[in-house]
Structure 1
Amino acid sequence: MSHLLSAADLAHEIEGVVVLDVRWALTTATTSAGRADYDAGHVPGAFFVDLDGELAGPAGEGGRHPLPDPAVVEALARRAGITERSRVVVYDAKESYAAARAWWVLRWAGVPDVRVLDGGYAAWLAAGLPVSTQEPADRNGDFVVRPGQLPTLDAAEAAQVARNGLLLDARAPERYAGEIEPIDPVAGHVPGAVNSPTSAWLAEDGTFRKDLAEHWQRVADGRGDGTGTVGVYCGSGVTAAHEMLALAELGIDAVLYPGSWSEWIRDTSRPVATGPQPG
């Protein structure tokens, strides 16, 4: 089963699913713009989700977007009326970066059926489908979170995957190379990690590209042959989930390093590589 859903398919089954709006101001790492966009119009019946407050814990030793408190995720699930039998659809503005984080966190928390609206709210609008400005009332679901349903990597395990498997760095090439670093205090990448920019997995309209398998072969360059672990990280563990989603579409069970670069550099004894090669 695909982890993605088209706007037409969502419209067809919207009465039978829980819809979550995860629009997020990625450039400023705040949710204020996302909430304003939601208030201006959203998929009918969708609940707004605060990525920073509900899909991540406070910034600290675990990085800028560590895993959320399970109790917070459970409160979100119950507010939206999620049960063990719910089908959940998440979306963001267009590229599914934030939606993929919700997809991953909810599955990590034990929600069994979560899919992403491919192309986000932009695809919904492009299809000429109705929008709403009404926020639904709390539905008082009964879902019980079971954290840890998806595996994760810590820093030591990420380093091991970089040596013995395939560790993907989902950031832009210039950040990977250490040429610029607009957010974190140290530039560069985990030694041995391969650069695989998240944006390269997308088509121009914000949907996932149709040739994912071919793109994966170019990224892996013979290293993603199924014999070793595939891990993914980014700056803080948000956009890496997008690459996890792309790989899941290909049937590849990659493992997320949630702390990502922002957690890696908190220990100054950890090595840092620069330049365009894994190094």
Structure 2
Amino acid sequence: MKNAVIIAIVMTLAMMGWNVQSRAEEFTKVDTGKVVAALKDPNWVVVDTRLNDAFNGWKLDGITRGGHINGAVDFSANWLKVEEKNLKEPLQEILATKGITPDKQIVLYDANGKDADNVAKFLHSLNYPHLFTYDVKQWAADTDLPMTKYENYHLIVPAVVVKEILDGKYPETFKQDKPIKLIEASWGEEKTSYAKGHIPTTFHINTDRVEPPTPTEPPMWILADDATLGKLALEIGVTKNDTVIVTSEEPLAAYRVATVLRYTGVDDVRVLNGGTLAWTMAGYELETERHNPVPVKDFGGPVPGHPEVIDTMAETKAGLAEPDRFILVDNRTWQEHIGEISGYSYHDKKGRIPGAIFGYAGKKDSYGMEYFRNPDKTMRNAEEFLALWREQGIDTSKHLSFMCGSGWRVAEIYTYADVYGLDDIGIFSDGWIGWSTDPANPIVTGVPKKN
């Protein structure tokens, strides 16, 4: 009799929406009505636990509509798989940033029946008491309920979609009349990265091909001239009308090559979101077999075909003279921005360009991207880095020209801004190194004054 009463109480609480967890860590499932109510209640938070590619807009795990529930934040179950020492503490910082705190009632949703439970178990281990799960396929099936996807989500591709392409399929956003070519980009010779393991069928591009080192001592790496880039496209067999996906062990290299190919004139250039790590975390194997590109004789259009991608030195100087329409966004570390360090072992000039506004990148060095990446190296929720820009006074209605040292960090940031849907953007590829090498260009140091 006593057991029957306990069971009745548990069932009643579950029907009321209370979180009832057994020792097996089972979490109460809620319906769409509860999610709608939770979105309106400040004591609740709704969390997307899927791959961030799904949050961005890709239709994964059989969902009928891509994107995320309006008002939801993201905390992907994939982040829990990242093998990083002491990862638990950084993840707790992320939870706090997103408002996923123990005092809230938390709805965790997925589309595969696994991700939400895995995140719930993680939160349960942190003593979060109020955890619920939801199947977002129910939401997607009701077309009266809004879902948000980034305007150009297709520009960064999930590993599962690359796998479908290798299996001979044409996933969403890919056209059968456009050849798909896969490229692995990394700095240096093939032995430094490519030979150790790469996405199957990819061929290698040394990033020195798009930014040849100068003959100076020490050498600098500055974007190649248009003739060199046009010749490179022919040698690697890429034309204006191809669809190109660039991968890399270090995503910065992939984004650098991808934006240069887009500037050259390739209309459809994409990047594997999360790089090689995304591929291996999805359970797919790398290969070590070497592949060669098949050269072509005709690119199919002018070079550069998309000059708007790159802001030249002259265009940048002209823009700085018109702050009502132009913002130079300095995507370096704070220490670089205020002139404490140069950021580069081969370049000793310190400071910033007068008029440039700090726009974040990493926290530690010139390769960090913590302000724009998730723990699995995928694109961070755009609303979060846009909020950082607003705090700095960066008006996204103006032309944003992104700069770093010489174009690597901003290639990734430019792409993320494009994914989100900002269209008046460009890359000042010469960056700090190109600017500060000329003694005629002014430099400032110190903490900038607030307007």
Count of paired positions: 267
The change in CA–CA distance for 1:78 and 1:157 in structure 2 (over 3 A counts) is closer
- Contact 2:359-2:388 within 8 A present in 1 as well: no
Deviations 1:33-87 (A, max 9, x none): x6432111111110100101x11134379x9332224444344433443234321
CA distance in 1, matches of 2:316, 2:225: 22
- Runs of 4 or more consecutive aligned structure 1 residues displaced over 6 Å after TM superposition: none
Cα RMSD for the two superposed structures: 2.4
Q: Distance in 1 between matches of 2:243 and 2:163?
A: 14
Which of the pair has the greater relative contact order for Cα pairs under 8 Å at 6+ separation?
Answer: 1
Residue 241 (structure 1) aligned to one of 394, 399, 411: 411
Which amino acid counterpart does residue 266 of structure 1 have in structure 2?
Answer: T
Q: 1:134–1:225: structure 2 CA closer, same or farther, 3 Å change rule?
A: closer
Q: SS of 1:201's equivalent?
A: coil
Pairing 1:131–2:300 present? no
Number of the residue aligned with 1:215 = 385
**How is 1:13-24 mapped onto 2 (pairs within 5 angstroms)?**
13-14=165-166, 15=168, 17-24=180-187
1:11 alignment partner, one of 150, 160, 163: 163
Give the counterpart of 1:188 among 351, 355, 360.
351
The aligned counterpart of 2:433 is 262
Aligned-partner residue type, residue 117 of structure 1: L
Pairing partner for 2:253 from 98, 117, 123: 98
Aligned pairs for 1:193-204 (under 5 A) are 193-198=356-361, 199=369, 200-204=371-375
Report how far residue 278 of structure 1 moved. Answer: 6.7
Q: How does 1:27-38 map to 2 (within 5 A)?
A: 31-32=188-189, 35-38=191-194
* TM-score with structure 2 setting the length: 0.55
TM-score, normalised by the number of residues in structure 1: 0.86
Change (3 A) 1:251 1:42: same
Indicate conservation of the 8 Å contact 1:18/1:80, yes or no.
Answer: no
- Give the whole-Å Cα distance in 2 for the aligned partners of 1:71 and 1:64: 19
Q: Does the Cα contact within 8 Å between 1:90 and 1:117 map onto a contact in 2?
A: yes
Matched, 1:158 2:320: no
Please state how far the C-alpha of 1:139 moved relative to its aligned partner. Answer: 1.5
SS at match of 1:242: helix
Counting only pairs closer than 5 Å after superposition, residues 112-131 of structure 1 correspond to structure 2 as 112-131=267-286
User: Percent sequence identity over matched residues?
Assistant: 25
Structure having the higher Rg = 2
253-262 vs 77-86, which deviates more?
77-86
Structure-1 separation of matches of 2:291 and 2:230 = 18
Specify the alignment match of 2:129 in structure 1. Answer: none
